[in-house]
Amino acid sequence: MTQRKYFGTDGIRGLVGQWPISADFMLRLGRAVGVVLARHGRARPKVLIGKDTRVSGYMFESALEAGLVAAGADVSLLGPMPTPGVAFLTRSLRADAGIVISASHNPHHDNGIKFFSANGEKLSDEVEHAIEEELELEFTTVPSEQLGKATRIADAVTRYAEFCKSTVSEDFSLRGLRIVLDCANGATYQVAPKVFSELGAVVSTIGDRPDGFNINRDVGSTHPQALERAVVEQGADLGIAFDGDGDRVQLVDREGKLADGDDILFVLANAWHAQGLLLGPVVGTLMSNYGLQLALAQHDVQLIRANVGDRYVLQQLKEHGGNLGGETSGHILCLDRATTGDGIVSALAVLEALAYAGTDLAEARRGLSKMPQIMINVRADGAREALHSDPVREALAETERALSGRGRVVLRASGTEPLVRVTVEAADEGEVRQLAERLAGVVKSAAERS
């Protein structure tokens, strides 16, 4: 497989107006997707398009629609819809592919494109490669009698809301709970309040007034301080923060304290293990806190680590027959409920687990003691190559011996920048900082010599 030109680990993303995040590229991309789908499936493919609330979404939605129709594909427009909602509707409506126009937790001046296959999962490398090859060819349009058509799915929000509610038991209720939702001025602003209120909760919302420019601005899972304040001020039982496209979630307990993805994995793993619902090991990433690994081990639950990125977590879950995994950022995979990370579904899973245990989030998370974690970015030409040098290998081995059984160290090279991330975890914060700074110094020196 040749190096991909446009696709990264999670679709195509960049600054609006700069190639390839431009209207002309999206027109060509739509046509390329339509041609590839027709080649690998039915002659007249059906494609869904959803988006978050960025103002540029209108432009890219129209461009993708035109390109797909020019290739003979039928298009169904969903409007603002969380990324996992597009994945669900792609399966439910028997479409050949789903497209999400979103840059997730980034600010409004960024945007991107994500794709789902007919089964609601990320596209394979082979299909992405075929799309890139088609992008290099001349833009052509099928004869008029073969052009696709575009329609709008008016009840998309209701369909997805019903799916979310179906992931918990029929007798599950949120009556009596006061919940604050932070919708990040993003794609969940319509559906999330609907789901939680229909399940009986008393719901208040922040970050639910998108204007095209305020997505993720001082709200959402990347800026949870607003939610922490709201939960305390309103005396709520729980706060739930989504990111701009709704595939990530972070929680706030009744004390106003943040629960990130590691906390969520801990609560769900313990509850599912006790109920006999946990399959295989829990899958975290290289950045999952070492304290999570130790805490799960005390409950006879194994944690294995994947590379950073939800697609790598998904790969490990499939390889090991697991059904629970995720990232510290709050991208949680509950594979017995959804095919991709789903903020609403994950939050409901936690609430159901708490109800089963007869406890609340503040109490359920007490068994997890996170270790201090220091990450130092070493930016220098040759930083990535320095990882293979003898001085760095020796320093890494020395650090691992110093932390043996008490902590861990990770050296991770950026895939796009001359950057190495040095991460050290252990119980003693002073020791952690000292070891991290020493190892970062060795990496920097080796990079400067290379």
For the question of residue 104 being annotated catalytic, the response is yes
Q: Contact 123/12 with Cβ under 8 angstroms?
A: no
Nearest to 269 by CA among 229, 224, 317: 317
The kind and range of the H/E element at 437 are helix 429-449
Residue ranges of alpha helices (H) inside 276-342 are: 290-297, 310-320
Assess contact for 146 and 42: CB atoms under 8 A.
no
Strand (E) or helix (H) holding 359: none
Per the residue annotation, which of 56, 76, 104, 288 is the catalytic one? 104
Respond yes or no on whether the N-terminal peptide bond of residue 20 is cis (omega within 30° of 0): yes
Helix (H, G, I), strand (E, B) or coil at 275: helix
The alpha carbon of residue 67 and the mean position of all alpha carbons in its chain are separated, in whole angstroms, by 27
Q: Give the SS3 label for residue 31.
A: helix
Q: What number of H helices and E strands is found in the chain?
A: 15, 18
What DSSP line would sit under 158-191, residue for residue? HHHHHHHHHTS-TT---TT-EEEEE-TTTTTTTH
Active-site residues, by number, are: 104
